Amino acid sequence: MKNPQIISIKTPPSGDKVIAIDGLNVIDDTTQALMSDSETTINVDIYFWDLMTNAGVTVTNKIMTYQSDPDVWTIDVADFSASLTDRHKYVAKITTAAIPLETANMRDFKLQEFSVDNGSFEDTWMRLPYEVDISAGKIKWYETTPGVGPALFQADIYQDGVGTTAATDTSRVTHRGPIETV
């Protein structure tokens, strides 16, 4: 995924309030006209597929509202954020709501792959005490004091700024690999 869409599920005002769907994607299934020509709100069901767990979750009977000036349909993030897992990737399909039976005849459409991030991971590991362990070739983050208890996170460390040569001295660390949970 080169340019992932990211939804922040933090409680507003710091998180996203709505997701926006281009008005050109929301069309009438029988006439092929834009739904914005005849509707301003549509009750929808959203079928999320979690790409990390390979499992689905359904959120039913949510309101999708048309915003004419930017020509987008919006759905409140609060309507589905509790159903999503932080730091997971999803795809989704949006359909007209089955209950109550929606009278709009909207064609089903998909949301491309996106990520959920409420910032908790970065907020957590950036504030943790850490140590650079040259013998293991790792930078390690701990809950309290470095070396006391097991590390929570770790990453490979490199020198020369390109991420291919293992660091031989703490003063030469110029690059780290991906952060992994230990």
* pLDDT tens-place string over residues 34-92: 999 999 999 999 999 999 999 999 999 999 999 999 999 999 999 998 899 888 899 99
Tell me if 114 sits within 8 A of 50, measured CB to CB: no
Chain centroid to Cα 104, Å, comes to 29
d(CA 120, CA 10) in angstroms, rounded, equals 9
Domains of the chain: 5-118 (2.60.40), 122-181 (no CATH)
The tens digit of pLDDT for each residue in 117-175 reads: 876 666 666 778 899 999 999 999 888 888 788 888 899 999 987 788 999 998 888 88
Phi-psi label, residue 32: left if phi above 0, alpha if psi -120 to 50, beta otherwise: left
